[in-house]
Amino acid sequence: MSAVSKPVRSFIDETGADKIISEIEAGIRAQNNGIRPHYSDLIQNIDGQELEYVNYVQEGGGVLGIGLIGYTYALEKMGFRFARLAGTSAGAVTTIMLAAVDKKNYPDEKLELQSEIMLRELLRYDLWQLVDGHWLAKRLIRIFINYRFGTRLLKILIGAAIVIPVIYALYQVIRHFANKSGQWVSTTFFDHAFSAVALLSLATLVILISIFFYFRVRFSRAGFGVNTGKNFHAWITGILARNNVHTMDDLRKVMQSRLDGLEMRPGRAAMKIPGDDLVIPSPLLTLVASDITAQTKVEFPLMSKHYWSEPEKVNPADFVRASMSIPLFFEPFRVSVPDVVQQHSKLQQRRFESVLVQWQLTSAND
């Protein structure tokens, strides 16, 4: 999970992704008499290549969500581009990167596709930085991830700490009654060794229980999250800043600029269907979270007016952090709702703070 310094192109070549994509394209053409089917009537012609525009939804799922960068790469290589974007949890991470990154902001990288830039950002970030909670929690997470026997070892330790003192207590009871009947043969070394092991196990159990209650209190105070999420927020903020995106207004302009030059496929345009036009309806971006205070699904930036007094000036990294409030791993994302918002928002009436956590989408793409 540490940062990788190798170039993006080398990483892609090692996976053999381009060969697989070529085989998929060849298979599609073979099934359609050598012709590539049309999947969208919204197109853009750039340098002689026809690009098809579709809507794209990315689900969560930790590594699965981040793995959607590869899926996005395949779609881009096959000539797809994206008009409207949506995502949640880890899918919100890839969605915000896809919405914001631009090759002109990476002049020395020689990257053409947005997915390549997304991969570049991922390869150059040490994901261990996302584990920014208590030092003991960080150590335990590292052990469990790096060592397959970590969870098993903990179970054995807890089991031994419980079972050995119980066995020792039974041993002492049996010894007591056996001594009364004169049938017990005392072995001093064995008794002392067994007593030492039992005391050590009991001490271990006390320590484990103390650690449990300590973290239980910390969990409760932190909203049942191990990590603060501050490093994650800083990472997303940095990616946006490298692409000159500091507010939602900046991001909207970037996304809208990509849609300049869109055309309707000639065959569709000739049909003159009422309502057919090149205006892509808003919002172009949707990041989904869950407000556990109001017990409702939240769509950002559409519903950001219920949380901030100037939603256009909010950094989109806030929306991603809200969507990535994975229970247990990250603390919930808290928003102090201004008085002016409370007065005009039915969602926020009589509430002073909103607690946002991850929302689970059921579909991976659209």
* pLDDT tens digit sequence for 101-137: 999 999 888 889 999 999 999 999 998 898 887 777 7
Residue with tokens 């150590």: 139
The number of distinct structural domains making up the chain is 3
* Contact criterion met (CB below 8 Å) for 324 and 358: yes
Are both 197 and 275 inside the same structural domain?
no
Mean pLDDT, the chain, integer = 83
Are both 40 and 155 inside the same structural domain?
no
Are both 107 and 153 inside the same structural domain?
no
- Tell whether the model's pLDDT for residue 333 goes beyond 70: yes
pLDDT score of 247 = 98
Of 226, 254, 287, the residue that ends a domain is 226
Confidence of residue 3 (pLDDT cuts 50, 70, 90): very low
Are both 127 and 243 inside the same structural domain?
yes
Are both 110 and 232 inside the same structural domain?
yes
- Give the range of the structural domain holding residue 146, as residue numbers without chain letter: 135-226
Confidence of residue 223 (pLDDT cuts 50, 70, 90): low
**Structure pTM?**
0.77
Q: Please name the residues in contact with 243: beta carbons below 8 A apart, sequence gap of 6 or more.
A: 100, 101, 102, 105, 254
Pairing of strands 296-300, 328-330: unpaired
Are both 103 and 1 inside the same structural domain?
yes
Are both 209 and 245 inside the same structural domain?
no
Are both 271 and 234 inside the same structural domain?
yes
Q: Per-residue pLDDT averaged across 303-327, rounded?
A: 92
* Contact criterion met (CB below 8 Å) for 347 and 294: yes
Residue bearing the bigger pLDDT, 99 or 292: 99
Radius of gyration of the chain (CA): 28
Are both 232 and 247 inside the same structural domain?
yes
pLDDT, tens only, 164-214: 888 878 877 777 777 766 665 556 767 777 778 878 888 888 887 887 777
Are both 208 and 243 inside the same structural domain?
no
